[in-house]
Chain A
Amino acid sequence: DQQVKQNSPSLSVQEGRISILNCDYTNSMFDYFLWYKKYPAEGPTFLISISSIKDKNEDGRFTVFLNKSAKHLSLHIVPSQPGDSAVYFCAAKEGNTNAGKSTFGDGTTLTVKP
């Protein structure tokens, strides 16, 4: 039973347009959410996070939105650039536990076309 789901395996957008990546979760104990970006042959790199006490967090071209009632979050990239082409993983944590482990989705491959 996958607790974090990214239902779109791939997404293709034109350079300069908005990219929207979606993520759904089932575990109501999750209260901290992160997005990671991964290039081939490299480990995931942290991109942006959001605590469950917020519904939006913005960092430059990247914005994460959280809808707790729907157990849904999304990552918006605007404007999209060819260098954004990578696999994007959504991750969730039960933030108040000592473990700090993250539960990941299976990723969405974003392709930004010049």
Chain B
Amino acid sequence: GAGVSQSPRYKVAKRGQDVALRCDPISGHVSLFWYQQALGQGPEFLTYFQNEAQLDKSGLPSDRFFAERPEGSVSTLKIQRTQQEDSAVYLCASSSVAGPSEQYFGPGTRLTVT
């Protein structure tokens, strides 16, 4: 079956622009996660949804970052007024249940802010 897909795969934005990154999780997966991965580092947690409810947004670095999953399926991560330090790979992952289980990752969106 289809895995987690993300679009766009690459995004170049000028500093100050707004961007929207899309994640299509595996069909039927309850949990959806966003991570930020800087070069040479591991993924860092941003936010977590269980169905349409955003249960944890403690990892969002500033109020410029906003995520939504209005119908409990597709999710969008929006970054307003992008800064150079936002340059990273943004990974989306989904899992079939809440709690301890493996996550299925998408290929990521590489965001470069110039």
User: Footprint of B on A, CB under 8 Å?
Assistant: 4, 6, 31-32, 34, 36, 41-46, 49, 51, 89, 91, 93, 95-107
Contacts and interface: CB of A to CB of B under 8 A. Distances in A.
Among A36, A45, A100, A104, which residue has the most Cβ atoms of chain B within 10 A?
A100
Given A43-B93, A44-B43, A101 B106 contact: no
Contact of B100 (A42, A95, A105, A107): A95
A93 B24 CA distance: 24
Contacts of A95: 99-100
Given A43-B108, A98-B55, A100-B99, A106 B40 contact: yes
Q: Is the interface of A mostly helix, strand, loop or mixed?
A: loop
Contact of B48 (A41, A44, A96, A100): A100
B45 A44 contact: no
7 contacts: A44-B91, A44-B105, A100-B48, A100-B101, A101-B33, A101-B45, A106-B40
Contacts of A49: 100, 102
B93 A34 contact: no
B43 A100 contact: no
B48 A101 contact: yes
Given A95-B100, A98-B98, A45 B56 contact: no
